[in-house]
Structure 1
Amino acid sequence: MTKTKLYKVDYNSPIGVLEVEGSETVIHSIMFVERQQPIHVAQEWTPHVLLDCVEQLNEYFQGQRFTFTFPYYLGGTDFQRQVWQALTQIPYAEQGTYKSIAMAIGNEKAIRAVGNANGKNKLSIVIPCHRIIGSNGTLTGYAGGLWRKEWLLQHEKSNANV
């Protein structure tokens, strides 16, 4: 079995560098990285899907895009994919909880498992795990850091009624 060739390109967002990784046809991950400057720059051989992803991220950060249309690969277990699909149903500028996601997938006792799956999301912003808050209204963990989560929620709130 041949291994899929993966490409990388960085996007310098207002809240740090996002590393976009994908194949010729789909995006595999979009993750915040802890470096100050992009190191993976677009080349003439960079697949169109990565360039499209970066353009859509740019539109999102400019407050002009509320959903994403490029193809992506979820990976993960069946349960994780269920959780991630449910996350995509949380509208722009709105929030959900681990409990609301557990209920949405028909397994209301799986709150901790939902939290675990949420933490394994490799498609930051596109699979909007940043929209999950605690049942008491507080911010809960975010792989990119709580300050980024707070920024993303505020960004969406301020652009939702434009």
Structure 2
Amino acid sequence: MNVIKFFVICIVCLVVNIGYAQQTEIKSIGLVSDEYFYATSPSVKTGGQLNIVDFLGNVHCCATISGYAKISDDPNFVDGINDQTVYAYAITVSPGVVKGLEGEGIPKKIAVKKIGRSIKATVDGVQVILSSCTSAEGVHYFTRRKSDGKVIVDIYKYLGVDLEPNCKDKFF
């Protein structure tokens, strides 16, 4: 009887850990801006590589996480969905990447495909679409579930200037 309890406990722990790992993976999508990667996950690993998806949907290789997470002290970067803490990671970019390139950062191990100005990818077994749009004073970098269009990541960068909004109301 004790052996059966032991195996049941092991299976439950395994399922919980797999679920947590998947949840962490999707939160590892964020925003690359200047020398930092901004994400809602406090556990992106140092040494991890990111592809950078620019505002036009072009994929650039690569940035490497070179510093540990710290809570971002820059009020211009916020989580646009749940008002979660945004973490800043120091990065280094490959020599071929244009200095100052900004866009969504997505773990390099995730295959991406450009469709128009959007990027399609599969993260944790879920098909997602990465895109961006402007609001009146900033830029939203979205990750949406393809199946229902629900926004699951929205890193917002406040620019403090008047912009021509092109975000569709359905995102908000």
Larger Rg computed on CA atoms: 2
Using the size of structure 2 for normalisation, the TM-score is 0.25
More strand by share: 2
Using the size of structure 1 for normalisation, the TM-score is 0.26
